[in-house]
Chains A and B, each alone.
Chain A
């Protein structure tokens, strides 16, 4: 997974210049229920994975979210 691209997509969702992997999502004023929904949609549409409501609530940084998406993609690839 291209994490730079992932951060760009998150930045688009938050409508800001840049998001870094170490950024804490809750510290963005824009990280509201709409942004959460957009992130779930992005994970589904661009990366083909489903992130559950409780999973996204437990994520702290942008990097954590990227890792979660990547981990789910790996699990999918392992499925017969």
Chain B
């Protein structure tokens, strides 16, 4: 479906990354890669380093740290928050919702609505949709969107296919009502028939956790995995990003009356630089307008990649003024969402270490 949101804006974004940084050059011996293969892999995926949270740090800790930063800086007051939306695939507990946990830790009032959304790659955009809708009913003027994941906990650290590309991060975004119309164009699609293209097979209630589901096996050398780890069908995902996402970008540009030239930057989810380069080529978008550096520096941090992309690459520009941007998120579900909007000026736009 397509829609236009009006009188809504993003006013601040803080992205939080764990301070622990790991380098591919130090890690690759654990992946059972020969030096030659490691070099090839590093070059193809532009691998360099990534940020990984310690075992006792959850997605909610990273998000809450970002939210606290916004409160400390004075751009947000607790009394202004009408709703908390927490997007993640790595919650604190199966129950209660992590948004409630954060609500309690922050000491928010009882009139604040709490929402958890289970999403990954499109999480920031689905969270924006939910936040825009909540502003419709909220008596208070602001919604806080928290997007964070610690996917490093959903894989074996010796898995050379997934681990080197993964990073942990959290983010806190303020979404609020505004006087000006500020139209935000959104296109959203889902294909649940492909839900097993990226999934964690066991550990919930379809296939409950047992000692067997925790057992790590090596289907391919260097790819150790248990049934409670993320499983991904690489070629199917590649087909998806090449076939389904570009038409949606075309669709949104014609819907908003934009062209490749009128968009200042294409802020896409960051699965890896290889796929992003292929996508940019296919869509004839100049590489300079479509940043793909996040995975090389931080790793793919699921629903936090778009806020990290914004805060890492455009903090200064967006604090000074506004940019016409195109967001695109695509992945788990399968779900793909694209938006065109004027972003900025943002009161706060930063990346902080936890």
Contacts and interface: CB of A to CB of B under 8 A. Distances in A.
- Chief secondary structure at chain A's binding surface: helix
Interface residues of A, number: 17
A24 interface: no
B233 A41 contact: no
Given A33-B234, A44-B282, A50 B239 contact: yes
A15 B40 contact: yes
A15 to B, nearest CB: 6
Interface of B: 36-37, 40-41, 44, 161, 220, 223, 233-236, 238-239, 242-243, 274, 278, 281-282
A44 B242 contact: yes
Nearest to B272: A37
A37 B220 contact: no
B44 A36 contact: no
Contact of A36 (B41, B235, B281): B235
A77 interface: no
A38 B235 contact: no
Contact of B281 (A34, A40, A45, A57): A45
B238 A41 contact: yes
Interface string A15-37: 10000000000000010111011
Contacts of A50: 239, 242-243
Interface string A38-65: 1011001100001011001100000000
- Chief secondary structure at chain B's binding surface: helix
B36 A53 contact: no
Given A40-B238, A50-B239, 19 more contacts: A15-B36, A30-B37, A32-B220, A33-B161, A33-B220, A34-B40, A34-B41, A40-B235, A40-B239, A41-B238, A44-B242, A44-B278, A45-B281, A45-B282, A50-B243, A52-B236, A53-B236, A53-B239, A56-B235
A30 to B, nearest CB: 8
A36 B236 CA distance: 11
Given A34-B44, A38-B44, A53 B235 contact: yes
A37 B242 contact: no
B44 to A, nearest CB: 6
Nearest to A53: B235
Contacts of B220: 32-33
Contacts of B37: 30, 32
Contacts of B234: 33, 36-37
Contacts of B41: 34
A38 B238 CA distance: 10
A15 B41 CA distance: 11
Contacts of B282: 44-45
